[in-house]
Amino acid sequence: MWGREDSIDPINETYIFGHDWESLSQMSKGAIFAEGLHSGHMVHGKGWKNALDEWFLKLKMRGSKPRIGRMQILARLGDSPETYVREKLHAAAMPPACCPNCQCSRRLQALGYYERGITSSGTPHYLRFQVRRFRCMSCRRTTSVLPDFSQPYRLIANHIIGSYFRGRSTSGSQQWSFLLNRYWNRFSDWLPLLAPKVRKDFRLRIPDDVPDRAWACLESGLGEIGIVTRELTIRSRITLFGAYLCHQPGRSKNEIIGIHTTVLLRVGKDPPD
């Protein structure tokens, strides 16, 4: 859940997001509404706190109804966020040959773009960039084409995450050290489930209890972080940080929450909300 104070509009508002709140909360209000990325929204008028309580109650009572979600693929589109924005490479994103959900070929139609944020080299600010989307005319699920310098649902650019994971150093990225440390902990927590998938799908001898060695093994076996992430989403349908609905054809949200809950309970953490 995330609340924002809109600088143009003096009305305070609260948006309700799921596990991908960190990335979604960096998006513009227009993109959130256009994409329907929020689970709920309330303006802080009279009685909004009661409305918020009702939301908590609804979330507790929510059943297992599956929802048609978005699919996501990663593609090589420029070597940095700065190049991508400067050269407007979002417009060059092509639809995948087949729908990643139903595998139907030549049925994806351009749907427009959504906007998200990413860290920019050498500045404490983040850049906003456009992500192209397509809709499958067969199954109706949308597919977004995320440039592979970015990480699904993470604000920090891949090259910064990669160098932090390699050396655990925050030089040049001190303003992001809090988030980077969280990413590392998340990778470490997820490793007991990630490692068996990597051993099976890529035949790499990756340990499931030594994160530093596991990371070195992934980089030497598959390549830099953008390639590792792209390969993981294609072959294993996971990322370095978890399993997300947007990489699972035909899976319901509850199955994904089940995966997270199992591994996080195994390592003694609270299950995700």
Q: Which residues bind Zn ion (CB under 5 A)?
A: 99, 101-102, 104, 136, 138-139
Strand partners, 117: 128
Q: Which is nearer to Zn ion, 44 or 107 (CB)?
A: 107
Alpha-carbon 44 to chain mean position: 28
Smallest gap, in angstroms, from Cβ of residue 229 to Zn ion? 23
Phi, psi of 198, rounded to the nearest 5 degrees = -65, -40
Tokens of 176: 């992001």
Q: Report the run of H or E that residue 186 belongs to, with start and end.
A: helix 177-202
Of 153, 154, 151, 157, nearest to 232 by C-alpha is 151
Q: Which is nearer to Zn ion, 101 or 239 (CB)?
A: 101
Q: How far apart are CA 64 and CA 70, in angstroms?
A: 18
Smallest gap, in angstroms, from Cβ of residue 33 to Zn ion? 24
Smallest gap, in angstroms, from Cβ of residue 71 to Zn ion? 8
Q: Which is nearer to Zn ion, 59 or 139 (CB)?
A: 139
Smallest gap, in angstroms, from Cβ of residue 160 to Zn ion? 34
Phi, psi of 170, rounded to the nearest 5 degrees = -110, 10
Q: Which is nearer to Zn ion, 61 or 68 (CB)?
A: 68
Q: How far apart are CA 50 and CA 22, in angstroms?
A: 25
Residue 51, classified by CB atoms within 10 Å of its CB into exposed (0-12), middle (13-18) or buried (19+), is middle
Q: How far apart are CA 242 and CA 259, in angstroms?
A: 9
Residue position matching structure tokens 């048609």: 68
Residue 23 CB: number of other CB atoms within 10 A?
Answer: 18
Q: Which is nearer to Zn ion, 191 or 246 (CB)?
A: 246
Smallest gap, in angstroms, from Cβ of residue 137 to Zn ion? 8
Q: Which is nearer to Zn ion, 1 or 98 (CB)?
A: 98
Smallest gap, in angstroms, from Cβ of residue 138 to Zn ion? 5
Q: Which is nearer to Zn ion, 57 or 137 (CB)?
A: 137
Smallest gap, in angstroms, from Cβ of residue 256 to Zn ion? 19
Strand partners, 43: 13
